[in-house]
Structure 1
Amino acid sequence: MQKKSIYEIAKQTGVSPTTVSRVLNNHPNVSAATRQTVLKAINGANYVPTISKSAFENIGVFIGTYDTDRYSVSLSPYCSEVVNGLSSIFCKYGYSLSLFPVNAVPRDRDDFKIFCFRRHIGAAVFLNVSLQDTFITDFAGLLPIVCIGTEMDSDKIKYVKCDHNAVSAEAVELLYQQGHRNLALLNVAFNIQDHMERYQAIESTCQRLGMTLSKENILIQSTSNYEDLPYLLENMIRRGVTALLCFDNQFSMRILHLLRTMDIRVPEDVSLIGYDDYSFAQYCSPPLTAIRQPIFNLGAYAGQHIINQLRDETTPCNLSLEPQLIVRKSVGPAKQG
């Protein structure tokens, strides 16, 4: 079916093009009856508005959530710092940003286009999305899009992420040098690309060094019942685990507290390494050894990618940043016996 213009919709419904525009933008100054008539004509005519990069100065930031039924944005320290990086660039160039949960995003290409048009969104950033969120590739070419932490199967969708291979191997090698041979992984989300890459690097390094990483010592995020953690940790240690690699620093804090209540000492009884290295990691007791991601820079570089596309400047290539292992006091020699 040939798509009609806004003027044809106006003529069909007997209203002005301005009124049609108000309906498209969800403007309040339109009667309910007129709005219903125009929307019916729009839906029947297969009308889809055009997104203008120059006219829309709002950037949509779409944030993934592990709860598929959740339709609100709850910023973790990781997401909050990424958004700070994005904001530092967008505000510099006079753009605003709006936050949305990925669950609220229409999956249909035309519906997403209307969603962005009504909110004056001229570009989109997707953050913390799942490997199952492949619908994002359907939006390629509609407007500038950058994904943070996830590569999409489209040349038109840029990404900024961290390369976890070398630093994850370095963390395992540190534990090996301290005599650890049996590891456990905590809070792993296999539907997140960052987590998958960490796991694959850790697994291959364990195989190379002859270390043990059994499936029963991998705590998966989506199936973790926090009430069962004492029992799970106790069983891991009973199975000979002497080191824990936690895939999120917030979870590391919980593990530190829990181990203390169980009279399990860090690092005397078990060593602990976290990811992300939030600012509070250095103030833990003991100070937490962690893999530091350049989280602010992930947002800043992604923001600059968007700005370059909006301004039709040379667009940088996809970018991978290098995390860093920060050694503190939560790793020590493996406990013997």
Structure 2
Amino acid sequence: MPHRRRRRRTALAVLTGTALIAAVPVAATAADRNPICRAPKSPALAKRVTRDLRTALAGRGGTVSVALYDDRTRLSCTLAGGTRYDAASVVKVLMLEATLRRAAGWGRPLTAWERRNLRPMIRSSDNAAASRIWSDLGRTYLAGTLHRAGTTRTGLGPYGYWGLTRTTVNDQLRLLGALTGPRSFLSTGARAYGLRLMSEVRKDQRWGVSAGMPRGLRAHLKNGWLPRATHGWRVHSIGAFTGGGRTYRIAVLSHGNPSMKYGVRTVERVAQAVHKALNKGRSLARGATPDSEISERSDGSVPPDAPELPDLRDRLNPRPVWGADAP
């Protein structure tokens, strides 16, 4: 009976995407039976990245979700893609895209006010600017943008707490796709502007999925780092990588981290595995973030006195009224 319970716990860990997936002896066998990566034209690559991701997460505590897509090889990976997390500051990418979408829909360029707020919101993760953009857009328009991006499990934060927007890595990959994909609802110019802002994130916020990236690629990223009484530190990093005739996207969300540094290390282990697999033999442009450059201060996306909210289904967005929302 004890052995049966142990096997049941192992299987549950694999299915839920906790860090135990690679810390048990059966991990390799499970990966072969139910791979988290697929590449129709390169099954060997998919198998190798599956193995490398599991190795990267070996022995790591907390809950981790990973999603990635490479346009060149059509490599697609998902680990715990439906697990929902408080978005913290990564929700600012949604606000950026919604603002770009609205300007295009109204047939005008971005206003000076929009540019003054979008730049610090993305480059330095300015929360006051984010609150202004959130209020200006309104929930209906933000929900409409989520719909246009194809998200299915992202719910806007209640009561103005935009940092408590609940999201998944699958949805974050879709939002990144709106900035890089050929069938995006955003214009070429809007995508270029959004990517440029994400490539100019200030140095102390460039940890995460950029770790291990090779020379010749450009990183466009946004991170979130938020401690709460439940689930400990949320440490998230999402990014698109362009250059050399290729584009790929990585999203890593995590919570249950005992510290920000611990979460950053987990995220960067995943990122390093992905970059190495997709860029064999290329020299590194960026290694792991030094301990001295990792702060233990919150991103401030949720006020310290904000209530702990249950993860209720009614926090998912209601279907918007398309007549009122249509640009």
TM range (shorter): under 0.3
TM-score norm. by structure 2 comes to: 0.24
Mark the structure with the bigger radius of gyration: 1
TM-score by length of 1: 0.24
